[in-house]
A = this chain, B = another copy of it.
Amino acid sequence: MLNENPIPARLKAARKKAKITQKELGVKIGMEESSASGRMNHYEKGRHMPDIGTLRRMAQELNVPLNYFFCDDDLSAELACAIAKLNPEQQTKLLEDLAKQSD
C-alpha cells in the first residue's frame, strides 16, 4: 500500500531545501518556542495531522503550494511547485496543451 500520509516526506524535503530545523520552522509560523520542536516533529514523523491553517502557514514559509504536501511522489510534488509559479495565462495554455495531448 502507498504511504497513506504523504505529508512527512514532503515536509522533510521542503524543510531541508530551506535549510532550517524543525523547531525553526515551527517558530516561524507562530508556534510557541516551548512546543514548536515537538509539534513539528510529530508532523514530520506522521504521528499527528496538522490542520489546514497550519499547513497553509508551512506552505507559505517553505514557498510551496498547499497541495504540495499531498503529492504522492517527488515528481508530482516538483510539478506542483513549478505549476504554482506560472501565471494564470500560462496555466490556461498548459491545460489546453495537455487536453490536446490526451486525445
Q: Which residues in A have some Cβ–Cβ distance to B below 8 Å?
A: 2, 4-6, 49, 51-53, 56, 65-72, 75-76, 78-80, 82-86, 88, 90-92, 94-95, 98-99, 101-102
A56-B4, A67-B67, A70-B67 known; A102+B78 contact, CB < 8 A = no
Q: Which residues of B contact A83 (CB under 8 A)?
A: 76, 79, 83, 98
Q: Which residues of B contact A88 (CB under 8 A)?
A: 75
Interface residues of A: mostly helix, strand, loop or mixed?
helix
Assess the B49–A52 pair: CB atoms within 8 A.
Answer: yes
Assess the B75–A71 pair: CB atoms within 8 A.
Answer: no
Assess the B66–A79 pair: CB atoms within 8 A.
Answer: no
Question: How often does this chain occur in the complex, in copies?
Answer: 2
Q: Which residues of B contact A6 (CB under 8 A)?
A: 66
Select from chain B the residue with minimum beta-carbon distance to A55: B70
* Residue of A53, A91, A99 with most partner-chain B CB within 10 A: A91
Select from chain B the residue with minimum beta-carbon distance to A80: B67
